[in-house]
Amino acid sequence: MSDFVNSYKDEFNKILVFLDKEIGTLRLGRSSPSLVENVLVDAYSVLTPLPHLASITATDPKTLTIQPWDKALLKEIEKALIKADLGINPVVRESVVILNVPSLTEETRKEVVKKLHHRLEEAKVAIRSVREKIKEKTLAQEKDKEITEDEKFRNLDELEELVKSYNEKIRSLGDKKEEEIMKI
């Protein structure tokens, strides 16, 4: 790979890291703190990620317990969890919020797979967007006589190979996650 294309690997890797984090929040029928990591809570008029406001523990395979460090935030955390549309109703007990993760039915598994495919497609669109930006830059460099026509074609070929490999990584992540979701 040329230095030109390698210089953009970071952007592609960021997309993969974000995708991995996003699909980690998909519900699998068992409790995991990652289910609520991205939930934003209106704490003191500032949207704050839930892990910054509370400890989140999986007390058993079907239960998540969220214990806010400031008890005044219990209602705000409950509202944020309802708004997050996780398919789980929060229950406030004394100083904690409890999420009982229901088992997935065939129908809910299919819904989760649809959400997964949507997120995978968003990642592919982001990859294409970065590819187009690199392509435009390469064409502009050739037009400005910074690189030769051969270098342009070599860069574009390497770029296509790189995009192909990242799309394969996205597909692989998606297949692995879909298998996890559909596993009974």
What type of residue sits at position 38? N
Please check whether the domain covering 29-100 is classified as CATH 3.30.1360.40. yes
Longest dimension (CA), the chain: 70
Q: For the chain, where do the domains classified as CATH 1.10.132.20 start and end?
A: 3-23+105-182
Q: Is the pTM of this model over 0.75?
A: no
Instruction: State residue 16's pLDDT score.
Output: 92
Q: What class is the 3-23+105-182 domain?
A: mainly alpha
| Integer Cα distance of 99 and 161 in angstroms | 44
Backbone dihedral region for residue 44 (phi beyond 0: left; psi -120 to 50: alpha; all else: beta): left
Instruction: State residue 28's pLDDT score.
Output: 67
Q: How far is CA 53 from the centre of its chain?
A: 21
Per-residue pLDDT of the chain (184 residues; tens, 9 = 90+): 567 777 888 899 999 999 888 887 776 666 778 788 888 998 888 899 989 999 999 888 888 899 999 888 899 999 898 888 777 888 898 889 998 887 778 888 888 889 899 999 999 999 999 999 999 998 998 899 888 889 889 989 999 999 999 999 999 999 998 888 887 6
| Integer Cα distance of 53 and 164 in angstroms | 40
**SS in 3 state form for 60-85?**
ECCEEEEEECCHHHHHHHHHHHHHCC
Q: How far is CA 126 from the centre of its chain?
A: 12
| Integer Cα distance of 49 and 79 in angstroms | 13
Instruction: State residue 126's pLDDT score.
Output: 95
